[in-house]
Amino acid sequence: MDRIIRFFKRDDVDMYLTLAFLIIVIYLMRGFATVILLTTIFAFLGIKVSRWLNLKTHLPYWIAVIVTYLLVIGIFVGALSYAAPTLVTQLKVIPDMLTKAITNHPVWNANIDKWVNQAIHSSELIQNGKSLLMTGIKELGHVGTGFTHVIIAIFLSFIFSVSRGRMMAFGRQFTHSKFKTFFGNVYYLVHKFVMILGRIIETQLVICTINTILMTIGFIIIGMPSIMVLAIIVFILGLIPVAGVLLSMIPLTLLAFASGGIMRVVWVVILVILIHAFESYFLHPRLMADRTDLPVFVTFITLIIMESLLGAWGLMIGIPIVSFFLDVLGVQDSEPHRVTSTNKTNS
């Protein structure tokens, strides 16, 4: 019995028990995982940029936070406001192009009425259309939910960033409470994961920027119009793991069809496939491996497994999770100066 008590009093066992407790809490709160992750990411980036602005301009920190958030939101709103009208103007020609194509094609023009009547009276087509409509409505609901999560996360991260000093002081009160060992472990583990996640997010921004530059060069080569609008679309949607590529295909192919017909659509699809393959099989694993000191093979396997387990989020947080566990288990250090278990409470 004494041996068991001594075992549970060990610092490493105490750390692992705290980690197990946190994993259970996160699992129970999985419905809020998206908001929590987005808030963490936005707060990390907001605090980092605000502190840099504070050092460079000597503005008070809270003013630097407000300027940072207003500037970033203003850039995104301005980019969308600039891109949307141009996108709508370009897409207006598609109905006329389809009408002209049907009119000039003898077979289509002669049989279009018959095909429409057959489609209207086809019970199978109607049933498939209903299923497609319900799927579309469901996906629109997911998009709306995702947009709501983003707005909530931006608001929460702004509040946290502005009151960072007060929140840090409030958190330190827990590390001096009756359960200071437990809360010290919680702080140590959460701080370590956030730092690893922050480095990965910075790398993702670099990857997104490189992809946007390569895509813009490709657009210029194949003669796409409105290059600036396309670059804005690619960059904004590129911030979304995996799904961003699929979402960007919709406006890109429509603009390609409106400006150059089917052949330009084919060139755009080839360009997207090539850039996405370059990102998935070289750029993403290579840069992520450099940031986490993981072998490229391990990075590949991590991305594949985590994407299967966690979906699109697995590509974003899969590598931070693996790096975090390797660090906690003592396999590798994720930070140049690792905080030891004896002083983690005071870090």
pLDDT tens digits in sequence order for the chain, 347 residues long: 566 556 555 667 778 888 888 888 888 887 787 888 888 888 888 898 999 998 888 889 889 999 999 998 888 888 777 777 776 776 666 666 666 655 665 555 555 656 556 655 555 556 665 666 566 566 555 556 767 888 898 999 999 999 888 888 888 888 888 888 888 888 888 888 888 888 888 888 888 888 889 888 988 888 887 788 888 878 877 776 555 666 777 778 877 877 777 888 888 889 888 888 887 777 777 777 666 677 777 777 877 787 777 776 777 777 788 888 888 877 765 554 444 443 444 44
Q: How far apart are CA 29 and CA 31, in angstroms?
A: 5
Q: Do 217 and 61 meet the contact criterion of CB atoms below 8 Å apart?
A: no
The pLDDT of residue 156 is 92
Query: Residue 270 carries which side chain, given as an amino acid letter?
Result: I
Q: How far apart are CA 292 and CA 318, in angstroms?
A: 12
Q: How far apart are CA 57 and CA 72, in angstroms?
A: 17
Chain CA centroid to CA 325, Å = 22
Q: How far apart are CA 169 and CA 151, in angstroms?
A: 27
Q: How far apart are CA 198 and CA 291, in angstroms?
A: 11
